Chains A and B, each alone.
Chain A
Amino acid sequence: MDNIKQFINNNVKQYGMIIALVGIVILFQILTDGILLTPLNITNIIMQNSYIIVLAIGMLIVIITGEIDLSVGSVAAFVGAMAGILLVNQDLPIILSIVLCLVVGAAIGAWQGFWVAYVSIPSFIVTLAGMLIFRGLTLVALQGQTIAPFPDGFRSLSSSFLPEAFGGGELHLLTLLIGVVLSVIYIVNEIKLRKSDRQYNIQVPSAILFATKLALFVIVINLFTYMLALYEGIPYVLIILLVLVLGYTFMMNKTILGRHIYSVGGNEKAAKLSGVKTAKVKFIAFVNMGIMAALAGLIFAGRLNAATPQAGNLFELDAIAAAVIGGASFTGGVGRVFGAVIGALVMGVLNNGMSLMGIGIDWQQAIKGLVLLAAVAFDVLSKKK
Chain B
Amino acid sequence: MMTSTILEMKSITKTFPGVKALDDVNLQVQEGEIHALIGENGAGKSTLMKVLSGVHPYGTYSGDIVYKGNTCEFKNINDSENLGIVIVHQELALIPELSIAENIFLGNERAKNGIINWNETRRKTRELLTKVGLHVNAEEQIKNIGVGQQQLVEIAKALSKEVELLILDEPTAALNEKDTENFLQLLLEFKKQGITSILISHKLKELFKVSDNITVLRDGKTISSYSLKNGDITEKHIIKDMVGRDLANLYPERNPNIKDEVVFEIKDWSVYHPLDSERQILHDVNLKVKRGEIVGLAGLMGAGRTELAMSVFGKSYGKKITGQLLKDGKEIVLNHVDQAIKNGLAYVSEDRKEYGLILIDSVKDNVTLANLEKVSKKNMIDKNLEVTQAEEIKSKINIKAPTIYQNTGNLSGGNQQKVVLGKWIFTDPDILILDEPTRGIDVGAKYEIYKIINDLAEQGKSIIVISSELPELLGICDRIYTLCEGRVTGSHDKEDASQESLMTYMTEVGGHYNG
Q: Are B356 and A270 in contact (CB under 8 A)?
A: yes
Would you call A145 an interface residue if the criterion is a C-beta within 8 Å of the partner chain's C-beta atoms?
A: no
Q: Are B341 and A269 in contact (CB under 8 A)?
A: no
Chain A residues positioned under 8 Å from B356 (CB to CB)? 270, 273
At the interface with chain A, which of B22-30, B279-287, B367-375? B367-375
CB distance from A318 to the nearest CB of B (A): 27
Q: CB-defined interface of B309-344 with A at 8 Å, one 1/0 digit per residue?
A: 000011010000000000000000000111011000
Q: Are B383 and A254 in contact (CB under 8 A)?
A: yes
Chain A residues positioned under 8 Å from B372 (CB to CB)? 256, 259-260
Chain B residues positioned under 8 Å from A199 (CB to CB)? 384
Would you call A13 an interface residue if the criterion is a C-beta within 8 Å of the partner chain's C-beta atoms?
A: no
For A273, give its contact among B355, B359, B365, B387 (CB under 8 Å). Answer: B355
Q: Are B349 and A273 in contact (CB under 8 A)?
A: yes
Q: Are B358 and A266 in contact (CB under 8 A)?
A: yes
With most chain A CB atoms within 10 A of its CB, the pick from B357, B365, B369, B370 is B369
Chain B residues positioned under 8 Å from A256 (CB to CB)? 372-373, 376, 379-381
- Which residues A173-213 have CB closer than 8 A to chain B? 196, 199-200, 202
Would you call B82 an interface residue if the criterion is a C-beta within 8 Å of the partner chain's C-beta atoms?
A: no
For A200, give its contact among B357, B358, B380, B388 (CB under 8 Å). Answer: B388
For B355, give its contact among A196, A202, A262, A270 (CB under 8 Å). Answer: A270
Give A199 to B383 CA distance when docked, in angstroms: 12
Would you call B423 an interface residue if the criterion is a C-beta within 8 Å of the partner chain's C-beta atoms?
A: yes
Give A274 to B367 CA distance when docked, in angstroms: 10
Give A226 to B132 CA distance when docked, in angstroms: 78
| Given known A254-B381, A256-B372, A259-B372, contact A275–B361 (CB-CB < 8 A) | no
Q: Are B355 and A276 in contact (CB under 8 A)?
A: no
Give A259 to B92 CA distance when docked, in angstroms: 32
CB distance from A278 to the nearest CB of B (A): 10
Q: Are A274 and B370 in contact (CB under 8 A)?
A: yes
CB distance from B152 to the nearest CB of A (A): 27
Q: Are B360 and A333 in contact (CB under 8 A)?
A: yes
Q: CB-defined interface of A259-291 with B at 8 Å, one 1/0 digit per residue?
A: 110110011011111111100000000000000
Q: Are B361 and A263 in contact (CB under 8 A)?
A: yes
Would you call A334 an interface residue if the criterion is a C-beta within 8 Å of the partner chain's C-beta atoms?
A: yes
Chain B residues positioned under 8 Å from A272 (CB to CB)? 316, 337
Q: CB-defined interface of A233-249 with B at 8 Å, one 1/0 digit per residue?
A: 00000000000000000
CB distance from A264 to the nearest CB of B (A): 9
How many residue pairs at the A-B interface have CB separations less than 8 Å? 79
Would you call A14 an interface residue if the criterion is a C-beta within 8 Å of the partner chain's C-beta atoms?
A: no
Chain A residues positioned under 8 Å from B337 (CB to CB)? 272-276
For B357, give its contact among A260, A267, A276 (CB under 8 Å). Answer: A267
Give A257 to B369 CA distance when docked, in angstroms: 11
Give A196 to B383 CA distance when docked, in angstroms: 10
Would you call B505 an interface residue if the criterion is a C-beta within 8 Å of the partner chain's C-beta atoms?
A: no
Q: Are B380 and A255 in contact (CB under 8 A)?
A: yes
Would you call B347 an interface residue if the criterion is a C-beta within 8 Å of the partner chain's C-beta atoms?
A: yes
For A270, give its contact among B338, B357, B376 (CB under 8 Å). Answer: B357
Q: Are B338 and A275 in contact (CB under 8 A)?
A: yes
CB distance from A96 to the nearest CB of B (A): 30
Q: Are A277 and B338 in contact (CB under 8 A)?
A: yes
| Given known A200-B384, A263-B369, A266-B360, contact A277–B336 (CB-CB < 8 A) | yes
Would you call B354 an interface residue if the criterion is a C-beta within 8 Å of the partner chain's C-beta atoms?
A: yes
Q: Are B358 and A333 in contact (CB under 8 A)?
A: yes
Q: Which residue of A lies closest to B359 (CB)?
A: A267
Chain A residues positioned under 8 Å from B405 (CB to CB)? 202
Chain B residues positioned under 8 Å from A255 (CB to CB)? 376, 379-381
Chain A residues positioned under 8 Å from B357 (CB to CB)? 267, 270
Q: Are A259 and B355 in contact (CB under 8 A)?
A: no
Chain B residues positioned under 8 Å from A259 (CB to CB)? 365, 369, 372, 381
Q: Which residue of A lies closest to B424 (CB)?
A: A274
Give A257 to B336 CA distance when docked, in angstroms: 18
Q: CB-defined interface of B382-414 with A at 8 Å, one 1/0 digit per residue?
A: 011001100000000000000001000000000
Chain A residues positioned under 8 Å from B336 (CB to CB)? 275, 277
Chain A residues positioned under 8 Å from B361 (CB to CB)? 262-263, 266, 333
Give A268 to B314 CA distance when docked, in angstroms: 16
CB distance from A252 to the nearest CB of B (A): 11
Q: Are B379 and A274 in contact (CB under 8 A)?
A: no
With most chain B CB atoms within 10 A of its CB, the pick from A263, A274, A276 is A274
Give A269 to B349 CA distance when docked, in angstroms: 11
| Given known A256-B372, A276-B369, contact A267–B341 (CB-CB < 8 A) | no
Q: CB-defined interface of B286-321 with A at 8 Å, one 1/0 digit per residue?
A: 000000000000000000000000000110100000
Give A182 to B300 CA distance when docked, in angstroms: 65
Chain B residues positioned under 8 Å from A275 (CB to CB)? 314, 336-338, 340-341, 370
Q: Which residue of A lies closest to B371 (CB)?
A: A275
Give A250 to B370 CA distance when docked, in angstroms: 21
Give A276 to B365 CA distance when docked, in angstroms: 13
Q: Which residue of B lies closest to A334 (CB)?
A: B360
Give A151 to B305 CA distance when docked, in angstroms: 67
Q: Are B358 and A263 in contact (CB under 8 A)?
A: yes
Chain B residues positioned under 8 Å from A254 (CB to CB)? 380-381, 383
For B358, give its contact among A196, A257, A267 (CB under 8 Å). Answer: A267
Q: Are A196 and B338 in contact (CB under 8 A)?
A: no
Chain A residues positioned under 8 Å from B347 (CB to CB)? 273
Give A256 to B383 CA distance when docked, in angstroms: 11
Give A274 to B342 CA distance when docked, in angstroms: 11
Give A276 to B349 CA distance when docked, in angstroms: 15
Chain A residues positioned under 8 Å from B354 (CB to CB)? 267, 269-270
Q: Are A202 and B349 in contact (CB under 8 A)?
A: no
Q: Which residue of B lies closest to A250 (CB)?
A: B380
Chain B residues positioned under 8 Å from A200 (CB to CB)? 384, 387-388
CB distance from A260 to the nearest CB of B (A): 8
CB distance from A182 to the nearest CB of B (A): 23
Q: Are B316 and A271 in contact (CB under 8 A)?
A: no
Give A199 to B423 CA distance when docked, in angstroms: 24
Give A270 to B316 CA distance when docked, in angstroms: 12
CB distance from B202 to the nearest CB of A (A): 24
Q: Are A271 and B360 in contact (CB under 8 A)?
A: no
Chain A residues positioned under 8 Å from B355 (CB to CB)? 269-270, 273
Give A254 to B357 CA distance when docked, in angstroms: 21
CB distance from B308 to the nearest CB of A (A): 15
CB distance from A76 to the nearest CB of B (A): 30
Q: Are A271 and B349 in contact (CB under 8 A)?
A: no
CB distance from B330 to the nearest CB of A (A): 21
Give A199 to B337 CA distance when docked, in angstroms: 35
CB distance from A256 to the nearest CB of B (A): 5
Q: Can you list 19 residue pairs at the A/B interface with Cβ under 8 Å?
A: A199-B384, A202-B387, A259-B365, A259-B372, A263-B358, A266-B359, A266-B360, A267-B357, A269-B355, A270-B358, A271-B358, A272-B337, A273-B316, A273-B355, A274-B370, A275-B336, A275-B338, A276-B338, A334-B360
Other A-B pairs beyond A259-B372, A273-B347, A273-B349, 20, CB < 8 Å:
A196-B384, A254-B381, A255-B379, A255-B381, A256-B372, A256-B381, A263-B369, A266-B358, A266-B361, A267-B357, A267-B358, A269-B354, A270-B358, A271-B369, A272-B316, A272-B337, A273-B316, A274-B369, A275-B370, A277-B336
